[in-house]
Amino acid sequence: MTGNPLQLEPHLQAIMQQQYPRFSAAEYTRRHQALAAVMVKHGCDQLLVVTDHRAGNAVQWITGWPGTVEAYVIFKPAEQMVMHMEWYNHFPLGRKIAQDVDVRWGEHQGIAKTIAELKRRGAKRVGIIGPLVIAKFRQLEAAFEVVLLDAEYTQLRMRKSEEEIDWLRIGAAMSDAGLRALVAGTRVGMDERELAALVESAYVKLGGTTMIHYIGVTSMAQPHIFVPPQHPSPRKVQAGDIVFCELSAYWWDYPGQVLRTFTVDSDPTPRYADLHATAEATFDAVTRVLRHGATMQEIIDATGLIEKNGYSVCDDLVHGFGGGYFQPIIGTKSRMAGRALPQMTLEENMTVVVQPNPVTTEADESKRAGVQVGELLRITREGCERLHRAPRGLFHAGDKIDQ
């Protein structure tokens, strides 16, 4: 990668220019101290952190290693971490990337070797974070008292450090690049799979990876979908279509999320213009109440324009994001995200996505219409901060949208 294609500030550009980007020693110390406090709280003498076939991100959070296959990390304050990992051809890179870890090849018996190491250390009560298949969990449970600590880990990930916010800014910039490529490159005759390729082409060359690219394409006159599907189809783009998308590109484990809507060779129909205006106004209403200490009732009250205008939603309107899909997860009064609002208030340096997604309410779902608007935000003491630079608005295919 040369130059500064994402137009990032120098300190962010410097992160991208590292061979394998790492956080500072102080940041890893902060994380390890937080885990040590969790262990004390639950009376654990050892902690096991797991990634299995890319599921579970706690190994990466404490070591820097993304955990391509199996990775079992044994953690105890003031002792060197030990990680048994697969596969052997992944082993050299694991040793290079993992921070201050004794990295060992698991020899396709990683859980057995991990249990043996825990016994050697005299473990009695072992905390566990991350996914462990039931057969392996039973082996661990047969040897030690096991304490599940995933909920504690989630709490640690909900509040971001300044360094983590910087990495999220990079993920947001890559997501914005995907959006720019999609809007500029969409043409009549392309299929949805080609649209997904446009998105990825913008950031893979810069070291980004794909979390999601949900892209909905439908006729405005006769819509057949009202929320972006999770998998693209061979349907071809046609004049008079509307495209609505939800895009998240990762910078390592730190994604942005940007949601926008645009038309193809046509101005929006009155129905879609009103849906989009409702989404934009709702985004403004919700973001006006976001701040440290904001209540869930304040947030859901701010979504009321959707129902007032005769719409509902088919997606969560607010959710925590960045290291996981976190609370607060909130819908609207007509489509709650759960039986009750989360019992919490917002805190400084939480990161949330606000994504109004009004949909029409016909009984026949095949006739409903919808749009997407939104992006990732940082909660501050007095309000919220945009992490994306993509402009808002209802675009047209072929537009060159600025940062």
* Tokens 């009064």, located at residue: 333
Q: Are 106 and 113 in contact (CB under 8 A)?
A: yes
Report the alpha-carbon distance of residue 123 to residue 261 in Å, rounded.
54
pLDDT tens digits, one per residue of 140-159 = 999 999 999 999 999 999 99
- DSSP per position, 131-179: ---HHHHHHHHHHSEEEE-HHHHHHHHHB--HHHHHHHHHHHHHHHHHH
What would the mean pLDDT of 388-402 be, rounded to a whole number? 96
Structural domains in the chain plus CATH codes: 25-157 (3.40.350.10), 162-396 (3.90.230.10)
pLDDT reported for residue 359: 98
In terms of Cα–Cα distance, which of 388, 378, 317, 318 is closest to 348? 378
Give yes or no for a cis peptide into 131 (omega within 30° of 0): no
Which token pair is 230? 């999770």
Which token pair is 180? 């720019």
Q: Is 212 exposed, middle or buried (0-12, 13-18, 19+ CB in 10 A)?
A: middle
In terms of Cα–Cα distance, which of 280, 356, 273, 345 is closest to 318? 356
Q: Are 178 and 375 in contact (CB under 8 A)?
A: no
pLDDT tens digits, one per residue of 107-123 = 999 999 999 999 999 99
pLDDT reported for residue 2: 60
Q: Are 310 and 343 in contact (CB under 8 A)?
A: no
One-letter identity of residue 98: A
| Exposure b/e, 278-301, CB count within 10 A at least 16 = b | bbbbbbebbbebbbbebebebbbe
pLDDT reported for residue 3: 80
Give yes or no for a cis peptide into 328 (omega within 30° of 0): yes
In terms of Cα–Cα distance, which of 87, 58, 54 is closest to 73? 58
Cβ neighbours for 96, distance < 8 A, ≥ 6 positions apart: 20
pLDDT tens digits, one per residue of 68-127 = 999 999 999 999 999 999 999 999 999 999 989 999 999 999 999 999 999 999 999 999
Report the alpha-carbon distance of residue 190 to residue 233 in Å, rounded.
11
What would the mean pLDDT of 192-212 be, rounded to a whole number? 97
Report the alpha-carbon distance of residue 334 to residue 154 in Å, rounded.
28
Q: How confident is the model at residue 332 (pLDDT cuts 50, 70, 90)?
A: very high
Mean of the per-residue pLDDT values of the chain: 97
Q: Give the percent of the chain with pLDDT over 90.
A: 98
Report the alpha-carbon distance of residue 196 to residue 277 in Å, rounded.
26
pLDDT reported for residue 403: 66
Report the alpha-carbon distance of residue 215 to residue 229 in Å, rounded.
6
pLDDT tens digits, one per residue of 20-45 = 999 999 999 999 999 999 999 999 99
* Residue 308: how many other CB atoms lie within 10 Å: 10
In terms of Cα–Cα distance, which of 164, 140, 180 is closest to 46? 140
